[in-house]
Structure 1
Amino acid sequence: MKIIKQLFWIFLFSLLGEGVSILISNFVAIPGSVIGMILLFMALHFDWIKLSQVDEVGTWLTDNMAILFVPAGVGLMTNFDLLANVWLQLLIIMVVTVSIMMWFVGTIVQKVMSKNGQKLNKTRIERTDSNA
C-alpha cells in the first residue's frame, strides 16, 4: 500500500505538469514532465509533502532510469536514415551548445562562489573585530 501511495504522488504531479503544459502551450512549449518535476520539487521544498512519501518509488525510478531511455534509443535507430543525412550538423550543434552551456554554468558558479566568499570573509572580519 505504501508504494501505491508513493506512485500516486508521483503520478499526481506528473498529471498536474501535463495540465499546466497544455494550459501554457499557446505561450511557451515546456514538456509536462519537466513542469511536473518542478512542481514536485516545490512541494518537497516547501514541505507540502514529505520526502518519505515518495522516497522508495523515486529511488527505484532513478536506479532503473536506463529502462526509460530504451524507447528513445529505438526511435533513433528506426529513423537512422533521416539522421544519416544531417549527422555532421547535429554533431556541430551538440558540441557548440554543450560548450556554451559549460561556459555559462561555470561563469555563474564562479560569480556565486566569489560573492559567497566575499560575504564569508566580511563575516570573519566583523567577528574578529567584535571579539577584540
Structure 2
Amino acid sequence: MTGLFYILLCWLIGNGLSVLTGGYVSGNVIGMILLFAALCPKWVKAETVRPAARFLLGSMALFFVPYGVGLMDSYRVILDNLWAIVVSGILSTIVVLLVSGKTFQSLNRRKRLQPKQTDEHAA
C-alpha cells in the first residue's frame, strides 16, 4: 500500500506541475521522472514500490482499453488522415533509428578511445 501511495503521489505532483507549466510535458512523464529521482538517492526504497509496480505492470492491458475504444469511436478521422499517419510513423521510426544508431556509435567509439585501467594502478 505504501508503494502505491508513492507512485500515486509522484503522479499527482507530476500532473500538478504539468498544469502549472502549461502542459508542455505530460504529467505522467513528469511523475515518472520524479519517482525515478526519488528512487536514485533512495529517498524511496525500491522494495517499497516494487509490489505495487508489479501489480500495475501486470494489469497494464486494462489501461489500454479506453484508448482502444477511443480509436474505434474516431475511425472516420483516422481513415481521413491515414496517409499522414502512415508517413509520419515511417519517418519518425527512421529518425529514431538513425539518431539511436549514431548515438550508440559515438558512445562506443568514445569508450574504445579511453585508456584502459589496469590493476597496477589500483594497487
Q: Does 1:85 align with 2:72?
A: no
Letter in 2 for 1:102: L
- Measure, in 1, the Cα distance between the counterparts of 2:109 and 2:46: 32
The structural deviation recorded for 1:63 is: 2.2
Q: Which residue of 1 aligns with 2:116?
A: 123
Is the partner of 1:123 in helix, strand or coil? coil
Identify which of 6, 11, 14 aligns with 1:17: 14
Identify which of 25, 41, 44 aligns with 1:30: 25
Following TM superposition, the consecutive aligned residue runs of length 4 or more in structure 1 with deviations greater than 6 angstroms are none
Q: Which residue of 1 aligns with 2:42?
A: 47
Is the partner of 2:116 in helix, strand or coil? helix
- Name the Cα RMSD after superposition: 1.7
Q: Which residue of 1 aligns with 2:68?
A: 73
- Measure, in 2, the Cα distance between the counterparts of 1:129 and 1:11: 50
Q: Does 1:114 align with 2:118?
A: no
The structural deviation recorded for 1:117 is: 2.2
| Greater CA drift, 104-113 or 11-20 | 104-113
- Measure, in 1, the Cα distance between the counterparts of 2:58 and 2:111: 34
Q: Which runs of 5+ in 2 are unaligned?
A: none
